[in-house]
Structure 1
Amino acid sequence: MNPLMRDHDAIDILKRQHQQIRRGFYKAAVPGPTRRKAFHQLVRLLAVHEAAEEAHVHPLARRVLRAGRTLSARRREEEKQAKRLLVDLWRTGPGGKGYLRKLNRLRRAVSEHAAREEREEFAALRRALSAPRLRILGTEVRFAQSYAPTRPHRWVNNEAMNKLSAPLLGPLDRARDLARHRAHR
């Protein structure tokens, strides 16, 4: 496959984001004036990444993979657990008591989830789908991320809730982000 076309492949997009998330955890742990910004960037990336996976990737895996129902159910359960940890971390904030402990706990959960996702679900999707279908999925992922909520919402944990809530929560979260950004200038 042409390397330029792989930039639009859903699996490559999501794996690249997994790398960004790993780096984001370390940046959000560094003490000092950049911690708050790194924390908010990490939360945003986690929120939009998971929203797209829950709305498009896992449902497709459930439909097209032989063990898709099982794989998808496991990933969704891991994401629900990670979202609970993320909500707790969000409430604590980068200056709160227990922040680093909670950040590290979330980092471990997300890292383990991402490794299983890449090894099991992504690898199987790469084998099962054509290159054009993976590019279409990449477009769906990028589009979903462009309007997805930028904060964790504990009750938004599946395809239907992501697709129904994103048009409302996404713009609301983005307006809050803009207000927060202006307040911290």
Structure 2
Amino acid sequence: MATMTMPTALKAAAKPLTAGKSTAKAASTAPTWSLRVVRKLGGENVVDVLTRQHRQIRLGFLRAALPGPWRRRNFDRLMRLLAVHEAAEEAHVHPVARRALQHGRELAARRRNEEKEAKELLVALWHTGPDGTGYLRRLNEVRRAVTRHAAREEREEFRALRQAVSAPRLRMLGAEVKLTQAYAPTRPHRWVNNEAANKLAAPVLGPVDRALDAVRRRRGS
């Protein structure tokens, strides 16, 4: 058997697996290279990854509201975290929940609708910017929408995923999320709000957003 290179392994690890019984079987018989990829990315349960990011997002909103010379930097960090977090959830987590959970289709649809509404607010906040008129009002609108959505995810989706999906598959899904966040777009895009759109947008908008981020940092330095 030919040896699989690491780039090929990373690409394969990023593909979503079928949930349910076939998911558990696939995870339990995962080849050695895929387990190495998971360990290289931390081997962390996807629910733990996303729950920790929810805490970071809540703290990010508080920092982005603070006055002073660091407001722009805190705002950019919050926008980036929100963008990559939602991209990974929409591309990988909600599709698995839709297939693996009881009433998963309805549950995933509710989460996508919440994310679509929050993204509309995020786009408006992005265009306002930290120096714009009404910034704090728009920031608070987004904060309320995002924190309500995160609480529902943790209560309705994450708990069910822990019970319905095997531990190895949850760790593999955590690796998929981290891989996606490494190249996802770093700012909100109104039409990128489902699995297919996120997977199509990542190789195009991701590099563009990151190039624009680099230009902004150079101008600000």
* TM-score of the two chains, using structure 1 as the length reference: 0.96
2:85 equivalent among 49, 53, 67: 49
1:116 aligns with 2:142: no
1:181 corresponds to: 217
Which ranges of structure 2 fall in alignment gaps of 5 or more residues? Answer: 1-38
Distance of 2:133 and 2:171 partners within structure 1: 43
Q: Give the length in aligned residue pairs.
A: 182
Distance of 1:6 and 1:153 partners within structure 2: 29
Q: CA deviation at 1:7?
A: 6.2
- Aligned-partner residue type, residue 41 of structure 1: R
2:195 equivalent among 153, 159, 162: 159
2:169 corresponds to: 133
1:66 aligns with 2:105: no
1:11 equivalent among 47, 61, 70: 47
2:204 equivalent among 157, 168, 172: 168
Distance of 2:72 and 2:178 partners within structure 1: 26
Contact 1:6 1:12 in 2 (8 A): no
Which residues in structure 2 correspond to 1:89-100 (within 5 Å)?
89-100=125-136
- Aligned-partner residue type, residue 140 of structure 1: E
Q: CA deviation at 1:6?
A: 8.6
Fraction of identical pairs, as percent: 68
* TM-score of the two chains, using structure 2 as the length reference: 0.81
After the TM superposition, list the runs of 4 or more consecutive aligned residues in structure 1 that deviate by more than 3 angstroms.
Answer: 4-7
1:87 aligns with 2:97: no
Distance of 1:70 and 1:110 partners within structure 2: 20
Q: CA deviation at 1:67?
A: 1.2
Distance of 1:19 and 1:45 partners within structure 2: 11
State which structure, 1 or 2, has the greater radius of gyration over its C-alpha atoms.
2
Q: What is the DSSP-based 3-state SS (H/G/I as helix, E as strand, rest coil) of the residue aligned with 1:94?
A: coil
CA RMSD of aligned residues (A): 1.4
Distance of 1:7 and 1:136 partners within structure 2: 7
